[in-house]
Structure 1
Amino acid sequence: MFIVGHRGARASAPENTLRALEIGMACADYVEVDIRLSRDGVPVVMDDATLDRTTDGSGAVCTYLLSELKMLDAGDGEKIPTLQEIVSLVTGRCGLFVEIKEKGSEETVCRVLSGYDPEKLFVVSFHEESIRKVKDLLPGVRTGFIFSRCGGDPLSFAVSVRADAILPRKDLLTSSLVDPAH
């Protein structure tokens, strides 16, 4: 078992910012970030599809160039980081969970992650095709299937997409799920 700082230490600093990750690295084994692509195809760290909740901007992340995203305030003067900035920050210091939020961004994300220590990296997603694609592009990297709904057989599904881990919503985490997963 290990501790993961979800979106860094979002209770102590604006989520998915360099400051949140700095704080998260001090108290977690891994930090987790969410990745979307800017209009010019740069992987940026943002949970929501829109900027409204976490920045002083509005509208879809994918409609902004990186240079425009970098002018926004992500809270307390923090800026929206790129995945490359995150990798530079955490390399050699902490493990990293990268959540692919958008189908079709896998090649770009994997290009950035290709030099990262696979022993300290998990790439996770709700999207089955993202998990499969990451396994093809970075075979040594561990992947995880995130799910938040009851129904079906998540373990069989995870095996079918070659996921190394399952990440259920907290209320779905039961011994009847955990025991067979081990």
Structure 2
Amino acid sequence: MLIIGHRGARGLEPENTLRALRRGMVCADLVEVDVRLTKDGIPVAIHDATVDRTTDGTGPVKGYTIEDFTRLDAGEGETIPTLLEVLDLVQGEKGLVVEIKESGTEAIVVSVIMDRMPERLFLVSFHPESVAMAKRLLPGAQAGLIYSGEIVDPVGLARSVQAEIILPRRDRVSRELVERAHNTGLLVVPWLLNTAGDIDEAIRIGVDGFASDDPCAARRYLQSEAATSPAQAK
């Protein structure tokens, strides 16, 4: 079962920083970052549309140049990394999940990734049009549709945009959904699973992986379950 380090290891380190990614890479199969563009069009790893929550700055991400970003403290003395810095960090070591936060930025994001393809790459988004465009631009990546709200037919929507993965919020996952997705060749990777109960339920219904804020705790739990239930190790 795949473990994805959510924003690196958000539960342990400042999210979307190189420090968080290094911590997540210790135990995760893939680490995840959110990507937005600066004022001068550089993809950087940040979740929110503003810098207020995760740095000592204020205002919209689009109001900052990349030079401005180097002066912001993202916690523990970390700065907000560029996507290029993230790719250099994971190169040859781990897989990477890139969440495209803004429609229309796909071509720039993909152009940065192309020369530094990680070991395994998921290009994911809440925006179906971004999923379709990312897959068109970079067929070698696995594309994924994220969702948190109710969708009548998430499997059909994912297939229509050439996704190979659906990433539902954990309360949107059921055995029926997993079976339908698997019958069409889709992987199911819910978020966020941070408790033993959530992970147990994910194992029970047969998901393919999950995102966690503490990937090492998740790994330890999976290993302990495999030791006591050999069938789950398969």
- Runs of 4+ aligned structure 1 residues displaced above 6 Å come to none
Cα distance in 1 for partners of 2:96, 2:73 equals: 24
- Preserved CA contact (<8 Å) 1:98 1:122: yes
Cα distance in 1 for partners of 2:159, 2:96 equals: 22
- Preserved CA contact (<8 Å) 1:118 1:141: no
Following superposition, the deviation at residue 164 of structure 1 comes to 0.6
Q: Where do 1:32-181 residues align within 5 Å?
A: 32-117=32-117, 120-181=120-181
Following superposition, the deviation at residue 176 of structure 1 comes to 1.3
Number of residue equivalences: 182
- Preserved CA contact (<8 Å) 1:98 1:124: yes
Following superposition, the deviation at residue 116 of structure 1 comes to 3.7
Cα distance in 2 for partners of 1:38, 1:100 equals: 14
Question: 2:23 aligns to what SS in structure 1?
Answer: helix
Cα distance in 1 for partners of 2:10, 2:175 equals: 29
- Preserved CA contact (<8 Å) 2:148 2:172: yes
- Preserved CA contact (<8 Å) 2:93 2:119: no
Question: 1:32 aligns to what SS in structure 2?
Answer: strand
Question: 1:3 aligns to what SS in structure 2?
Answer: strand
Aligned-residue CA RMSD (Å): 1.0
Q: Given residue 72 of structure 1, which amino acid in structure 2 is its aligned partner?
A: L
Larger Rg: 2
Deviations 1:58-109 (A, max 9, x none): 1110111010011000011100000000000001110000000001110110
Please report the TM-score for the alignment, with normalisation by the length of structure 1.
0.97
- Preserved CA contact (<8 Å) 2:87 2:117: no
Question: 2:155 aligns to what SS in structure 1?
Answer: helix
Please report the TM-score for the alignment, with normalisation by the length of structure 2.
0.76
Q: Quick one: structure 1 residues 118 and 84, their matched pair in 2 at CA, closer, same or farther if it must change by over 3 Å?
A: closer
Cα distance in 2 for partners of 1:178, 1:115 equals: 34
> Highest relative contact order (Cα 8 Å, sep 6+), 1 or 2?
2
Greater share of residues in helix: 2
